[in-house]
């Protein structure tokens, strides 16, 4: 009855699991499965701990065709920086989808979430961006600005990156990191309108509550991935842009209505059309997002439990292949 359980720390996971095409492919499979309608993805379990200015979210999803399912626990304790600790922590547990036995514990402190979030951006870029992208723009200067650009570069090997942020010093640091990592030109751009005008692919990666991307900036041949909004108060894209784009695609409509850019557009009375299509349907080809090089496309990413199950399954494969981590017989 005893079986082996793999345990990997964040350091071991950073070594074993890379943001590469294999990670993008497994996340793409998860989106394709979402489109089949057979994925089971319950609402997020959420608990607030007011006394500690903390909150905990638990996500899970079962995807037919994947051997395991992940349960992800994401605590956010926003007074931690005062203690010299990061606000965000957490882990993923991978269970067998056949027996429910624990297969692996990933003490990743959010690293696998970073990877699967960036991988979703690459899936969107692969299926929605114009074939030729010369310049990519990042709005935002954090971890996801770096990783979204890195992931998109794997599917659209652009030669130039522009970075805008409210803090130019941070934009410059972000651009320098990207340039070093990808070996291409990357620089901070002080004017976000010019950043968008010069880019064929833009990722918005901010926690903004007011649009950082104006509808007037849309131009033919542009793809935008908006991944910053994942809560009911956030909004990165001016709502009119969703209506004016040739195609607006959700990672999950039910989530985008509540947490994504779609929420603001609905609240503004601007979105009254059909239900948007989902990224999974674009992946499978059921819905064509981009019909021409001149189309304008927007993809709204809020983050799904299906991606967690995909990346956790992938991480176990990587760990076993690399002989990484600790094995406990339990």
Site residues, a copy of itself (CB under 8 A): 1, 5, 7, 9-11, 40, 42-49, 51-52, 54, 56, 58, 60-62, 64, 69, 71, 73, 75-77, 80, 83-86, 89-91, 93, 95, 97-102, 105, 107, 109, 326, 328-330
What's the min distance (Å) between Cβ of 62 and a copy of itself? 5
CB atoms within 10 A of CB 284: 17
- Least Å distance, CB 142 to a copy of itself, is 18
Choice between 86 and 273, CB closer to a copy of itself: 86
Contacts of 265 (CB under 8 A, 6+ apart): 239, 242, 243, 271
For residue 101, the minimal CB distance to a copy of itself (Å) is 6
**Residue 11, SS3 per DSSP:** helix
Whichever of 94 and 120 has its CB closer to a copy of itself, that residue is 94
Q: For residues 112 and 311, is the Cβ–Cβ distance under 8 A?
A: yes
DSSP class of residue 51?
G
**Under the phi-then-psi rule, with left for phi > 0, alpha for psi from -120 to 50, and beta for the rest, what region is 110?**
left
Which residue lies nearer to a copy of itself by CB, 23 or 61? Answer: 61
* C-beta of residue 221 within 8 angstroms of C-beta of residue 156: no
User: Quick one: 100 or 269, whose CB is closer to a copy of itself?
Assistant: 100
Looking at the Cβ atoms of 102 and 268, the one nearer to a copy of itself is 102
CB of 29 to a copy of itself, least distance (A): 17
Q: What burial letters (b/e) apply to 163-193, b meaning 16+ CB within 10 Å?
A: bbbeeeebbbbbbebbbeebebebebbeebe
CA 130/CA 210 separation, integer angstroms = 28
**Cα of 316 vs its chain's centroid, Å:** 20
Q: How far is the CB of 162 from a copy of itself (least distance, A)?
A: 32
Q: Which is nearer to a copy of itself, 113 or 206 (CB)?
A: 113
Select 90 or 192, whichever has its Cβ closest to a copy of itself.
Answer: 90
For the record, the structure tokens of 104 come out as 């692996």
Min separation Cβ 100 and a copy of itself, Å:
3
CB of 309 to a copy of itself, least distance (A): 11
Reported as half-sphere exposure (CB side, CA atoms, 13 A), residue 103 has a value of 21
What are the tokens at 156?
């659209």
Confirm if 127 and 289 have CB atoms less than 8 A apart.
yes
């Amino acid at each position: 009855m005893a079986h082996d359980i793999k345990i990997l720390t964040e350091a071991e996971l950073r070594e074993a699991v890379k943001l590469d095409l294999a990670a993008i492919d497994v996340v793409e499979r998860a989106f394709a499965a979402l489109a089949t309608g057979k994925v089971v993805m319950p609402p997020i379990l959420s608990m607030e701990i007011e006394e500690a200015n903390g909150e905990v979210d638990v996500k899970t999803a079962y995807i037919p065709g994947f051997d395991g399912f992940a349960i992800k626990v994401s605590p956010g304790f926003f007074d931690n920086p005062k203690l010299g600790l990061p606000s965000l922590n957490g882990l993923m547990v991978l269970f067998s989808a056949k027996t429910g036995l624990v297969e692996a514990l990933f003490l990743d402190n959010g690293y696998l979430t970073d990877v699967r979030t960036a991988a979703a951006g690459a899936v969107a870029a692969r299926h929605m961006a114009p074939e030729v992208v010369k310049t990519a723009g990042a709005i935002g200067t954090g971890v996801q600005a770096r990783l979204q650009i890195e992931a998109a570069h794997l599917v659209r090997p652009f030669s130039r990156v522009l970075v805008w942020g409210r803090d130019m010093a941070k934009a410059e640091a972000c651009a320098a990191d990207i340039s070093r990592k990808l070996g291409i030109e990357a620089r901070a751009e002080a004017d976000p309108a010019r950043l968008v005008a010069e880019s064929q692919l833009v990722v918005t990666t901010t926690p903004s509550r007011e649009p950082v991307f104006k509808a007037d900036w849309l131009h033919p041949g542009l793809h935008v991935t908006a991944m910053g909004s994942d809560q009911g108060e956030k909004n990165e894209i001016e709502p009119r842009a969703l209506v004016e784009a040739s195609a607006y695609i959700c990672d999950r409509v039910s989530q985008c209505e509540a947490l994504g850019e779609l929420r603001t557009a609905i609240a503004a009375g601007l979105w009254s059309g059909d239900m948007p299509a989902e990224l999974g349907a674009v992946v499978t080809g059921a819905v064509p997002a981009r019909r021409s090089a001149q189309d304008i496309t927007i993809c709204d990413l809020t983050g799904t439990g299906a991606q967690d199950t995909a990346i956790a399954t992938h991480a176990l494969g990587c760990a076993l292949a690399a002989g990484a981590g600790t094995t406990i017989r339990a």
